[in-house]
Amino acid sequence: MDLLTAADEGGITGFLLDLVNSLGPVGVGLAILAETVIPPIPSEAVLGLAGVLINDGEMEVVPVILFATLGSLLGATFFYYVGRALGPRRSHAFLDRLPLVETADVDKTFEWFERHGRSAVFFGRMVPIVRSFISVPAGVVRMPIGQFLLFTAGGSLIWNSVLIGLGVAAGDFVQENLQYLDYAVVVAVVVAVTWFAYKKLSGGLQRPPTAGAHLPADERDEP
C-alpha cells in the first residue's frame, strides 16, 4: 500500500498522512504540538510516518526535524507557563486531573525534576510519560525561560531526530504494513480507555487527599 492510498482510506493513519501531505513539515510540527498538549496522538506514529515520507522523496529531512522540534517547543512552553502560573500544588492537581493521567505519573515527573535538577528538562524530553509534563515543574521553580527553551529544544531535537531516522530506515517495511498501523493505534486507545474506565469505576483514579502535599505551598496560599 502506498502513502497516497493510505491517506485516501481515512482513519488515524490517513488523517496524519493527509495533514503532512497537505502542509508538509508544518503539518508535522502541528501534529507534534497537538501530541504534546492534547494526547493521545502518538509522536512515534507522527514522526515515523514523516520519516517514511522523507524516504519516499516527499519531504526533506532538515525542515521536518526543525518543525517537529518547534512543535515540541511550543507545547512544552505551554506547560511551562501552567506551572509558573499555578505553583507547585495547583499545577500538580491540574496534571493529576487530566484524562488517563495517574497521580503516580505526576509524582514521577516532579520527583524526576527534584532528583536531576534543571538537566531534567533536557533528559526528560526523551523519557516516556516524563517528557509530556517535565515542563511543569520547570515553570514552578521559574527556571529562566532562555535556559528552559535551550534545554527543551536540545532534548526534543535528539528525540525527534531519532524517531524520524527510524522512520526513514524502516520506510519500506512501514509502507508495506501501513494498513496495520490504524489497528495498532486503535487497540492501544481502546486498552487505555478501558483501563481508565475500570480505574475510575473502582475508585483507583480518585486523587488521594495527600497528593502533592509534600510540595511547597503555592504563593497565593502563603500568608
Per-residue pLDDT at 80 exceeds 90: yes
Average pLDDT, stretch 4-15?
53
Q: What pTM, to 2 d.p., does this model score?
A: 0.73
The answer to whether 48 and 165 have CB atoms below 8 angstroms apart is: no
Peptide bond preceding 25: is omega within 30 degrees of 0, i.e. cis? Answer: no
pLDDT tens per residue, range 142-166: 899 999 999 999 999 999 998 888 8
Q: How confident is the model at residue 117 (pLDDT cuts 50, 70, 90)?
A: confident
Can you say how many angstroms the Cα of residue 9 is from the centroid of all Cα atoms in its chain?
A: 26
